[in-house]
Amino acid sequence: MGEKRLAVVTGASSGIGRATARRLAADGFEVICAARRTDRIEALAAEIGGRAITCDVTSADDIARLADEVGERLDVLVANAGGAIGTEHVADAKFDEWRTMYDTNVIGVAASIQALLPALKQAHGVIITIGSVAGMVAYEGGAGYCGVKAAVHSLMMALRLELFDQPVRVCEIDPGMVKSDEFALVRLHGDAAKAEAVYAGVDAPLTQEDIGETVAFVATQPEHVNIDQLVVRPRAQAAAHKIHRTG
């Protein structure tokens, strides 16, 4: 038996990241679980036989520590940490919240990739980011979040070109509506009733496990297969802003 393949999942304390860490561990990866909430990632790491590292992706020091923890070789980076804050129209936008979204979803993803790229090259690895269908079609109240996810898409396209002669694959997974642990709760500033209403009447939104499954599919392709982009939606959602609801 050779050494286990190594994966890093950022934003592993909740939602898609947590489900992905569990799924990759089930596939035989050693998973480094990174997020800000140490207690949660330590519990997860103990459960799946992985490692936990407290890491705020907006902190250069934390990212450097993450790279130290990884060492020389990394097979899979799942740059997942992120999310939306607020639903205001541009007329009422809170730009501090926009800055946090850009820092986390765009710069945080780019910084994670930059720091771990040497180890990914060494292992002929794969970079998987979690974008969103929000980056493809804008909707009212989504200017901030749609903008950051559109930026993630551009980042990944540029990166794939830059790495065209390097042994690293670059994949973007763009989920539609996922009823994850905290996405809507964080976006709506902790208002549980409003967060629940986001999914009201929707017949089967995606689960975080659905996306974990998709990540595992991409991560376990043969080395010559680069899945550029995967758009994954629930059947009830034809576009980011067109959702079938009943009741």
Minimum Å gap between C-beta 55 and ligand NAP is 6
Classify strands 126-130 and 169-175 as parallel, antiparallel or unpaired: parallel
The reply on whether position 81 binds ligand NAP by CB under 6 A is yes
Minimum Å gap between C-beta 88 and ligand NAP is 17
How many residues sit in the footprint of ligand NAP (CB under 6 A)?
Answer: 32
Token digits of residue 73: 């070789």
The reply on whether position 130 binds ligand NAP by CB under 6 A is yes
Residues whose CB is less than 8 angstroms from the CB of residue 238 and which lie 6 or more positions away in sequence, other chains included: 244
Tell me the residue ranges of DSSP E strands in 21-153. 30-35, 51-54, 76-79, 126-130
CA distance 189 to 177: 18
Minimum Å gap between C-beta 164 and ligand NAP is 26
Q: Which conformational region is residue 137 in: left (phi greater than 0), alpha (psi within -120 to 50 degrees), or beta?
A: beta
Residues whose CB is less than 8 angstroms from the CB of residue 245 and which lie 6 or more positions away in sequence, other chains included: 200, 201, 202, 236
The reply on whether position 104 binds ligand NAP by CB under 6 A is yes
The reply on whether position 177 binds ligand NAP by CB under 6 A is yes
Q: Which of 25, 80, 156, 160 contacts ligand NAP by CB under 6 A?
A: 80
Q: Which of 6, 7, 8, 11 contacts ligand NAP by CB under 6 A?
A: 11
CA distance 85 to 106: 14
Residue nearest to ligand NAP (CB): 15
Minimum Å gap between C-beta 224 and ligand NAP is 28
Active site residue 145: yes
CA distance 155 to 204: 31
Which chain residues interact with ligand NAP by CB under 6 A? Answer: 10-11, 13-17, 35-37, 55-58, 80-83, 104-105, 108, 130, 132, 175, 177-178, 180-183, 186, 208
